[in-house]
Amino acid sequence: MLLADVLHAQGNIIRVDFYKDPFVINVGQSLNVDLPDNPTAKNLQAAQQQLQITNTKPLIDALLAYKNEHKLNDWMYYQLIRRVAQQIAPKDINYAKYTFYKWFILNGSGYDARLALSHNKVIFYVYNKEEIRDIPYFMVDDKQFVCLNIHDYANANLNDDPPKPVPLPVPGDARSFSYKVNLMPDFRPNMEVEKDLSFQYAHKTYHFKVKVNADQQNAFINYPGVDFETYFNIPLSKETYSSLIPILKKNVIGMDEKTGVDYLMRFTRYAFLYENDEQNYGKEKRLSPGETLASNYSDCDDRAALFFYLVKEIYNLPMIAMLYPTHITMAVGFNKPVGEPIIYKGKAYSVCEPTPQAEDLSIGQLSAKLKSVPFKIVYAYEPR
């Protein structure tokens, strides 16, 4: 079952309570297709043909209207599709049928989505133009298709039995799917909780009550590793933003710019407990700023993204992300650099370490263990 969903099928009524406004539609019995648990390509083609003669337009139109009204990006739209498919065909009863409906709806919504079969596994791919890591992909006519459901097959190695694409129709003007999240939707208010955060700065303890939402965390459970520009620009929800950013802005009033950035650096460094992803999740997982604020533990990736978001929102300064073999840190472009500057494209940046280190690092100081280690700039932000 999908985590933390409140999904109630009442007769032919589908109701998804995940975002602030519920998605509700009467789909009728005609959406039900015959599909075995371990389908063949012919089974999937027959199910597609069965739905093709059914009036599925009201469902697709209603979903797209909801997407447009609530300004859902592709990833958040897919979270809605998952929950609608779960209503029609619960995944723990017939996973193949659940996956088929996800494909059918995404395909019907205008995306180039594909199905393939591998060792009794139904593999669900979608056309994507972005740099995505940690999930399988395959190339068709120089187009990259990434796997949307590999998380449902623990420890699966698709190289052992390469998926065989199922010949199914694709919309003529099918578009690519994007993982960019530029606007956070409103989630259910009843899933909102207040989280207490605190840290010390200049011999004073600062306390925060930050509003976080469990549904937002659930929306990112299977979010893959995206490029750093996409990752660093995932925004906070309106509720989280309004409970934190105005207070941070108030607290830095009277501080000069460098002191204010130092305050944000130490908030990011000390208001959360540290634990690496292998210990916490058993694998590498980058948390969005909202997830970092909601989580009990976070690592250097998570803090770099949160620090970037806070500095961008409050001071909007140039920044670079410096990736080492086992660490990532940030550097900020001030009018006058602090300490030994990092020079990138002729501009000087001062290191701002948002993750706890053995040393109590100030702005412009790099951990001793990193001083002779090569790094690369994986993202550069320049305010417009």
pLDDT at residue 278, rounded to an integer: 65
pLDDT at residue 313, rounded to an integer: 97
pLDDT at residue 279, rounded to an integer: 61
pLDDT at residue 30, rounded to an integer: 67
Distance CA 35, CA 46 (A): 9
376 burial via Cβ count (<10 Å: 0-12, 13-18, 19+): exposed
* pLDDT, tens digit, 9 for 90 and up, residues 54-113: 888 899 999 999 999 999 999 999 999 999 999 999 999 999 999 999 999 999 999 999
Give the length of the chain. Answer: 384
Whole-structure pTM value: 0.92
* Domain ranges, ordered by start, for the chain: 6-165, 189-381
pLDDT at residue 53, rounded to an integer: 82
For 66, other C-beta atoms within 10 Å of its C-beta total 20
On whether the CB atoms of residues 41 and 166 are closer than 8 A, the answer is yes
The values of phi and psi at residue 381, to 5°, are -110, 130
* pLDDT, tens digit, 9 for 90 and up, residues 167-194: 998 887 889 999 999 999 999 999 999 9
Angle, nearest 10°, between helix axes 257-270 and 238-251? 130
Looking at residue 304, its amino acid is A
Distance CA 128, CA 131 (A): 8
Domain covering 189-381, topology: C8orf32 fold (3.10.620)
Residues with pLDDT less than 50, the chain: 1-11
